[in-house]
Amino acid sequence: MKQESKPVHGMWASRWVFILAATGSAVGLGNIWRFPYITGENGGGAFVLLYLLCIAVVGVPIMAAEVMLGRKGGMSPINTMRKLAAESKVTQRWSWIGYMGVLSAFLILSFYSVVASWALYYTWEAVQGAFQGITAAQSGARFDDMLASPWLMMGYHTLFMLLTMVVVGRGVKGGLEKAVQILMPLLFVLLLVLVGYAATTPGFMQGIEFLFAFDFSKLNGQAVITAVGQAFFTLSLGMGAIMAYGAYMPRQVPGKAGKKKPVSIMSTVIIIALLDTLVALGSGVAMFPLLFSGGLEAGQGPGMMFVTLPLAFGQMPGGLLFGSLFFVLVVCAAWSSSISLAEPVVAWLVEKGVNRAMSSVIVGLGAWVLGLGSVLSFNIWKDKTFLVGTFFDNMEFLSTTIMLPLGGLLIAVFAGWVMKETHARKELAMKSFPLYLVWRALVRIFSPVAVIVLVVYSVWSTFA
């Protein structure tokens, strides 16, 4: 076999480290904050089913494509796409996938840090017992007070951005790999504890029913858009994070009797998608019973995690401990995701010759400044709305609903139509040929068509 050059940024120590890192990227606010509240808003069970379908038929195939492109290119998404475009003898315009990804990452990182920083603040509040015995009105007022204080929010936004950049600045081996090896096991233990706790509350069965009982009358076009957007967001697809991580994925690992064993992309991706789904469902199972036990409602919107949940924790035996653990869980999850948002950009700057520490400072500072727009969206700029809402709303809409699906579409088209089939097939190295054909059909036809229809529909329904 031709000796491939080693990626300049380093390599994950094993397949499992890649799985931890990619799961770290995938599992985040999308699972714990966004999934439960959009499920609540869209009526529960039927939406969950729709979401699972999107993960399976759009998410997994595109994730496999993204990892495949990344591993083949071995560099930051921009240079990976340059390299693959050259290899495929097509125009360098395909490297725009990389540039667009970097841009989406920047946008997402900027507001992601803001929401994550609320969780950071709430951890601090929970530990101090601030939620003990509060009323619904008080809980709402606490959240509103936080949102009304630009300085407070800016402080926590700064802190969270620093946490992110400290890890990214240390590189793949010394930073990312170490962080995910601590954060991910911790996250799963915490989630398990919280699910166990939810099971002891009186609203447990009601919560389970809400999540898993199907009422299809509640579904509409908007729910479908939300589900597809969520599938991209939750799996970190369409912007190069998974491509960048894929670039550090080994092709072979030592197997039995000193023989090398190939690392299969498809089975790895399926594990990551399953873990991500498990955490999303687990978060629902941990949260809804608490709400119902407290006699609260499910369709609370984005404030659910920060208003309703503290209220539930505040009323419960053990709420101080479990409430604190919950927000620690959220911070861990968000942290391991935000580093993957920064990595593609930082890796690109490193390839341009800037050193890693400096690159992290530049990226962190840039995203921090942009994030101030989101901070202000909740107070000083609250009434300055355009297009879909505040600055924050626009950031979220543009990146999650438009840019990620479009990025995913281009990735699918490149992997399915542009790249030489022999290359794609060799890099994927799937054992089962029929399954390979299924992947190819999904990536060539199904995903692109689905994404085009949805993006057009969502732009049209938002602005028409």
Nearer to Na ion, 66 or 276 (CB): 276
- CB 31, min distance to ligand PFF, A: 5
Nearer to ligand PFF, 241 or 410 (CB): 241
- CB 234, min distance to ligand PFF, A: 4
Using CB distances below 5 to 8 A depending on partner kind, what does residue 340 bind out of ligand PFF, Na ion, none?
Answer: ligand PFF
- CB 104, min distance to ligand PFF, A: 7
Longest alpha-carbon distance in the chain: 67
Half-sphere exposure of 431 (CA within 13 A, CB side): 5
Nearest CA-CA partner of 114 in 366, 449, 367: 367
Q: Which residue is nearest to ligand PFF (CB)?
A: 30
Nearer to ligand PFF, 30 or 175 (CB): 30
- CB 242, min distance to ligand PFF, A: 7
Q: Which amino acid is at 369?
A: V
Nearer to ligand PFF, 113 or 359 (CB): 113
Using CB distances below 5 to 8 A depending on partner kind, what does residue 239 bind out of Na ion, ligand PFF, none?
Answer: ligand PFF
Using CB distances below 5 to 8 A depending on partner kind, what does residue 337 bind out of Na ion, ligand PFF, none?
Answer: ligand PFF
Nearer to ligand PFF, 108 or 410 (CB): 108
- CB 312, min distance to ligand PFF, A: 22
Site residues, Na ion (CB under 5 A): 26, 30-31, 234, 276
Using CB distances below 5 to 8 A depending on partner kind, what does residue 241 bind out of ligand PFF, Na ion, none?
Answer: ligand PFF
> Within a 10 A sphere around the Cβ of 82, how many other Cβ atoms?
17
- CB 326, min distance to Na ion, A: 17
Q: Tokens representing 407?
A: 């990025």
Using CB distances below 5 to 8 A depending on partner kind, what does residue 314 bind out of ligand PFF, Na ion, none?
Answer: none
State the DSSP string of 96-108.
Answer: HHHHHHHHHHHHH
Nearer to Na ion, 31 or 164 (CB): 31
Phi and psi for 252 in degrees, rounded to 5? -135, 150
- CB 77, min distance to ligand PFF, A: 10
Q: Tokens representing 302?
A: 């984005």
Q: Measuring CA to CA, how many Å separate 30 from each of 25, 123, 153, 181, 239? A: 10, 18, 20, 20, 15
Q: Which amino acid is at 54?
A: C
Are the C-beta atoms of 183 and 336 separated by less than 8 Å?
yes
Q: Tokens representing 83?
A: 């390299």
Neighbour-count burial of 53, counting CB atoms closer than 10 A to its CB (0-12 exposed, 13-18 middle, 19+ buried): middle
- CB 260, min distance to Na ion, A: 32
Buried b (16+ CB within 10 A) or exposed e, 228-251: bbbbbbbbbbbbbbbbbbbbbbbb
Nearer to ligand PFF, 26 or 165 (CB): 26
Using CB distances below 5 to 8 A depending on partner kind, what does residue 341 bind out of ligand PFF, Na ion, none?
Answer: ligand PFF
Nearer to ligand PFF, 103 or 415 (CB): 103
- CB 29, min distance to Na ion, A: 8
Q: How many helices (H) and strands (E) does the chain have?
A: 23, 2
- CB 81, min distance to ligand PFF, A: 16
Nearer to ligand PFF, 320 or 329 (CB): 329
Residue 186 belongs to what H/E stretch?
A: helix 178-199
Q: Give the C-alpha separation, 82 to 101, whole Å.
A: 13
Nearer to ligand PFF, 104 or 201 (CB): 104
> Within a 10 A sphere around the Cβ of 162, how many other Cβ atoms?
13
- CB 26, min distance to Na ion, A: 5
Nearer to ligand PFF, 34 or 170 (CB): 34
Nearest CA-CA partner of 363 in 134, 103, 175: 103
96: left (phi over 0), alpha (psi -120 to 50) or beta: alpha
Using CB distances below 5 to 8 A depending on partner kind, what does residue 108 bind out of Na ion, ligand PFF, none?
Answer: ligand PFF
Site residues, ligand PFF (CB under 6 A): 25-26, 28-31, 105, 108, 233-234, 236, 239, 241, 337, 340-341
> Within a 10 A sphere around the Cβ of 95, how many other Cβ atoms?
19
Nearest CA-CA partner of 249 in 80, 103, 104, 101: 80
Q: Give the C-alpha separation, 112 to 336, whole Å.
A: 12
Using CB distances below 5 to 8 A depending on partner kind, what does residue 12 bind out of Na ion, ligand PFF, none?
Answer: none
Q: Tokens representing 448?
A: 């692109």
